[in-house]
Amino acid sequence: MISLLKRPSFQSLISQKYIRAKSGVAFGDLVRLTRLKKARAFLLGGNMKIETISEAIGYPNVEHFIRLFKREYGKTPAQFRNEANKDRKSR
């Protein structure tokens, strides 16, 4: 039993359950949300290509990144950036 508890996969499972208990969010969802928040910061902070942002936050497949971003924020990364730039110019 003790050797089972020392296995990395078992420790990972315990860690994931602990994170969910403390945050109320599944570990995978927490990772995804953290990555997408970082993507928003990149989109607001400069003119990095969307492909570059996708890779920088850990999504090598840009289509997958765009799909996740749109599901979370209701618009594509390009739409998000364009609207943010319009808001800045109108101030």
Per the confidence metrics, is the pTM higher than 0.85?
no
Which residues make Cβ contacts (< 8 Å) with residue 66, sequence separation at least 6? 50, 54, 76, 77
pLDDT mean over 9-18: 74
pLDDT mean over 15-33: 87
C-alpha distance from residue 52 to each of 12, 37, 56 (Å)? 30, 15, 6
